[in-house]
Amino acid sequence: MSERSASEAPQGLRAAGVTRTRRAILAAARKHLIEAGYHRLSLEQVAADAGITRVTIYRQFSSKLGLLDAVAEDLAQRARLVSGVEAALAVDDPVAAFRELVVELCRFWATDPDLLRRLLGLATVDPEAGHVVQSREQWRFDQIGAFVRRLDAAGRLHDDLDVEQAVAAIGAVTGFPACDEMATRLRLGHAELGPLVVTLLGGVIRLD
């Protein structure tokens, strides 16, 4: 083994250990967040479940709010949401691209509905924690805006709607609360809702 390889081996092991610890913390935080909610989320219980100390949580995430933000970010990364939306935006035809966006959002909601219910519920009861959720919702609306502007340029918005109105309507219909309600009432998986949601949005976008 070369001198460089010998020095890199311990660093690689340490990095792998940090990654495992982070995953264990996030998994434990997700579990307790779903069971107890954010206000009753105990960092001591999270640390115990992850097999580490509370100090380790603070070292990696700085605070309880930082841990919440990391849980939300981990959800997006597990679902590959950003790359999925980017792939939809890369589709040449604006209507086909929009359909792909709707399917991608429904697929994202299917990733972890129990966690999403807890996260989105925070926006109405805790302004500080709700900011973690609202910043991600704003990102979603920003992406919808990019698709709607393409549709508008192609003359695909209904005449009585402007871009702002279309974004607001599409954002509401494709949001988790609406999709979760439809999935529950129709006994469908969230990922199966794409065609129905696209049909509903035919009142906003000319899809023919």
Tens-digit pLDDT profile for the chain (208 aa)?
555 555 555 666 566 667 899 999 999 999 999 999 888 899 999 999 999 999 999 999 999 999 999 999 999 999 999 999 999 999 999 999 999 999 999 999 999 999 999 998 887 788 888 889 999 999 999 999 999 999 999 999 999 999 999 999 999 999 999 999 999 999 999 999 999 999 999 999 999 8
Please report, as a single letter, which amino acid is at residue 193: L
How much is the pLDDT for 142? 98
Please report, as a single letter, which amino acid is at residue 136: R
Centroid of chain to Cα 14: 29
In this structure, what are the phi and psi dihedrals at residue 158, rounded to the nearest 5 degrees?
Answer: -65, 150
Domains of the chain are 3-61 (1.10.10.60), 76-203 (1.10.357)
Please work out, in degrees rounded to the nearest 5, the angle formed at the alpha carbon of residue 61 by the alpha carbons of 55 and 63.
Answer: 75
Between CA 130 and CA 140 the distance in angstroms is: 15
Q: At what angle do helices 64-79 and 3-36 cross, to 10 degrees?
A: 100
Structure tokens at 43: 């960092």
CB burial string 181-201: b at 16+ within 10 A, e below: ebbeeeeeebbebbebbbebb
Between CA 147 and CA 125 the distance in angstroms is: 31
Reported pTM: 0.87
Between CA 55 and CA 83 the distance in angstroms is: 34
Give per-residue pLDDT as tens, 40-60: 899 999 999 999 999 999 999
Structure tokens at 62: 């700085």
How much is the pLDDT for 14? 61
Q: At what angle do helices 127-153 and 81-89 cross, to 10 degrees?
A: 20
How much is the pLDDT for 30? 96
How much is the pLDDT for 19? 85
Percent of residues in the chain assigned helix, strand, coil, to nearest 5:
80, 0, 20
